[in-house]
Structure formats: structure tokens, C-alpha cells
Amino acid sequence: MSGFRSGFACFVGRPNAGKSTLTNALTGTKVAITSSRPQTTRHAVRGIVHRPDAQLVLVDTPGLHKPRTLLGQRLNDIVRETYAGVDVVCFCVTADDKIGPGDRFIAAELRELKTPVLAVVTKTDKVSKQQVGEQLLAVSQLGEWAEIVPTSAVSDFQVSLLADLLVARLPEGPVLYPEGELTDEPEQVLIGELIREAALEGVRDELPHSIAVTVEEMSLREDRPDDRPLLDVYATLHVERDSQKAIVLGTGGARLKGVGTTARHQIEALLGMRVYLDLRVSVAKDWQKDPRQLKKLGF
């Protein structure tokens, strides 16, 4: 197809800079987990934007940060590997937070790239027009960016403009993924991420880094009519200490039950079928620092 463009773009930025929300807004569906807690994205999730003139594959990355654990180092490695292999990079900075050392650290790394970098000011719905203007100026002083774009995924402000600007920087090429496919993440990974997102909501600050989820088993229940399938999902939430297990379980297991209900609804929406979800909580002591356990948990 003459003039058709296809390629990869990735979002980098501090943890909680709105990267996942923007990925979901551009693809029009939930492919990346979002949470008010930093450090929620652990996989480079690909969201696929299908257009008549292009196919844009979005690679969402964990937030770049100063690592304190082996897990932290591995997450940073994922980010660097990702932006070495894409056609265009988006550097995300939120409108409602002053530029900090973390932003400068990332900007300095991005200045070394030969790939075009767009600076994207996210969450503009949270502040006044004047504050957006001040943030755009502050971001412009961090480097020579191909474009600086203010956006809001929540109010859909300039999301389609951002898509146009990204597509314009893709090479001409063939369709990379079948029409209708929205991500190339295995369903099992997406289900694990949805469970983790549900578990992170409303828990205290010490937990975000400390929860990992493994989906142990997934199978369609036998003896069900074809028009009413039921998927059985057995998953384990791994925490690092007994005290964290108590937090995740809640009084009399009430919090875990709530996590199960929230996650089940999300999984059913993702897969379009009824789901039976069985959740357990297990203590894997200091798993973030143990190479053997990290490997077992998929990092």
C-alpha cells in the first residue's frame, strides 16, 4: 500500500507520568495498567493503533528511576532496550508537577539519542492554562525536542494530534499486526497485570514495588455450553513479608475478596467471557533482590 506507514513509538518518563493512560487513550482500550501508585508498569506493553494510513505500535515502559534493587535495575534495562529499537520516542512530563532531578536525568539520556524525541506534557486537565504554559517553557529548556505537545488523556485533549505527529515520523512500511489486534502481550500477562492493578489500589505506600502476580493456571471449564463459556483462572499474589500479606488479605480476607471482584470484572471485559478467579497470597521473602526469585516471577 503506497504511503502507508508503520513502526514503533515508546513513552518514557518518571514513574506516574501518565504514560500508561496515554497508551490506553491512543489505542482506545485498556492495554496498559494504570494506577495512582508509581512503579505499576513492569512490562513493555505494546498497544496497537490501527489507522487507514498507518499502524502505530506503542511500547509502554516502566518509569526510569534511580534503582535501589535488582528489580529496579532490570526495569531500567527494559526502558533502555526499548528506546534503542523504536522509530520515535515520547518524553512524558506531567503538567501538575515541577520539573525535578528525575526529569533532568531522563532528558540528559534522551539528548544522546539519534531517534526523534517528542516532549509530551500530560495531565493538562489538572492545572490552569497559565500553568500549562509555564510547564511547556520549562520542558523546552530541558533539550532540543522535535515537538512539544500538551495533552490530556482524561479530557481527550490533543490525543489525536499526538497520534498524527507520531505517525508522521514512522517509516513507510507494511501492516505489522492483523486488524483488530490491540496488543501482542499474551493474555496471561495482561490478566496478571489487571490483578496487580486491582491489588495496588487503596493499599499503603510500602506495597507498590512488593506485589508480583503469577497466573498459575488458566483453562476453559469443561461441560459448559459453547454460548456460555467460563474461564477458570488461578493466580498467586507474591509479597515480600508476612505484614504485607496481612495488608493484602485485609480483615477476614475482605480486601483480597474486593481485589478479586474488581480484577474479575476487568478480565471479563478484556476477554468478553465469564471468569472464575481464584486468588492466593504467598510470601516470597525479599524477592526484588533475589535473582532466582526474579527469574521465577518473570523478570
Condensed to tens digits (0 to 9), the pLDDT of residues 111-161 reads 888 889 999 999 999 999 999 999 999 999 999 999 999 999 888 899 999
- Shared domain for 163 and 55, answered yes or no, is yes
Residue ranges of alpha helices (H) inside the chain are: 19-27, 70-84, 101-111, 129-140, 159-167, 187-200, 242-249, 254-271, 291-296
Is residue 180 assigned to a domain? no
Q: Are the CB atoms for 9 and 57 separated by under 8 Å?
A: yes
Residue 212 vs residues 61, 252, 260: alpha-carbon distances, Å: 17, 22, 15
Is residue 30 assigned to a domain? yes
User: 496471561: which residue's cell?
Assistant: 188
User: 499502524: which residue's cell?
Assistant: 55
> What is the pTM assigned to this prediction?
0.57
DSSP three-state, residue 96 = coil
pLDDT digits (tens, 9 = 90+) for 266-279: 888 777 778 899 99
- pLDDT at 38 (0 to 100): 46
Q: How confident is the model at residue 289 (pLDDT cuts 50, 70, 90)?
A: confident
How many domains does the chain divide into?
2
- Shared domain for 226 and 274, answered yes or no, is yes
Q: Which three cell numbers stand for residue 295?
A: 527469574
Burial of residue 292 (CB within 10 Å: 0-12, 13-18, 19+) is exposed
**CA nearest to 47, candidates 67, 22, 81:** 22
Q: Which three cell numbers stand for residue 262?
A: 474488581
Is residue 176 assigned to a domain? no
Burial of residue 220 (CB within 10 Å: 0-12, 13-18, 19+) is exposed
The three-point CA angle 94-211-280 to 5° equals 140
pLDDT digits (tens, 9 = 90+) for 199-251: 888 665 556 567 888 888 877 788 877 778 888 888 988 888 888 888 888 88
Domain closes at, from 137, 167, 197: 167
Q: Are the CB atoms for 110 and 82 separated by under 8 Å?
A: no
Is residue 181 assigned to a domain? no
Domain closes at, from 167, 195, 216: 167
- Paired sense of beta strands 230-239 and 212-220, if any: antiparallel
Q: Which residues touch 223 (CB under 8 Å, ≥6 apart)?
A: none
Q: Highest mean pLDDT range out of 1-15, 80-94, 126-140, 273-287?
A: 126-140
- Shared domain for 34 and 152, answered yes or no, is yes
How far apart CA 299 and CA 293 sit, in angstroms, is: 9
The percentage of the chain sitting over the pLDDT mark of 90, rounded to a whole number, equals 28
Is residue 177 assigned to a domain? no
pLDDT digits (tens, 9 = 90+) for 163-186: 999 999 999 988 887 776 655 556
Q: Residue 138's domain is classified under what CATH number? A: 3.40.50.300
- pLDDT at 77 (0 to 100): 72
Q: Residue 209's domain is classified under what CATH number? A: 3.30.300.20
- Shared domain for 236 and 278, answered yes or no, is yes
Q: Highest mean pLDDT range out of 12-16, 38-42, 284-288?
A: 12-16
Q: What is the DSSP letter of 188?
A: H
Which residue segment(s) compose the domain that 22 sits in? 5-167
